[in-house]
Copies of this chain bind each other. A is one copy, B any other.
Amino acid sequence: MGRVADRLHSAAIHLLRRLRVEDEALGISAPRLSALSVLVFAGPKRIGELARIEQVEPPTMTKLVDGLVRDGLALREDDPDDARAVRVRATATGARTLRRGRAKRLATLRATLGTLSPGELAALGEGVDVLERVLGER
């Protein structure tokens, strides 16, 4: 059963190395894409909030947001309730880029997983379900 841990670890590394290549073609790294996805689906967030959601320290999120802003995918706004804070919001371009990235990954997934049976794909989906549940519990 320790095998599951080892294999999961290794598979995650290899998966990300693989996806990184694709996302580069899209012009956005995985961590930025992940943060952008939160902004698009859950709406504007403060830096600290985003950092917590993405499980990184605030300075790391500052940098990630810098990148998104530089690329025009998100923007910083003053928080109306707290002058120390910053609200980060996805731009229309950001939302569009996310959709495009999703379409791209979907296409790649179709190509890559084309050989898998529906049953295997379902198994993968269920594995992801479990993983999400486990990771969600801080």
A interface residue numbers (CB < 8 A to B): 1-19, 30-31, 33-34, 37, 54-56, 102-103, 105-106, 108-109, 112-113, 115-116, 120-121, 123-135, 137
Q: Is the CB of A112 within 8 A of B124?
A: no
- Given A4-B121, A123-B123, A124-B127, 10 other A-B contacts at CB below 8 A? A2-B103, A4-B125, A6-B102, A6-B105, A10-B37, A11-B128, A11-B131, A17-B55, A113-B134, A123-B130
Cα A137 to Cα B134 with chains together (Å): 28
B-chain residues with CB within 8 Å of residue A33 when the two chains form the complex:
9
Taking a contact as CB atoms closer than 8 A, the residue among B1, B34, B105, B137 that contacts A106 in the complex is B1
Cα A109 to Cα B1 with chains together (Å): 9
Cα A17 to Cα B135 with chains together (Å): 10
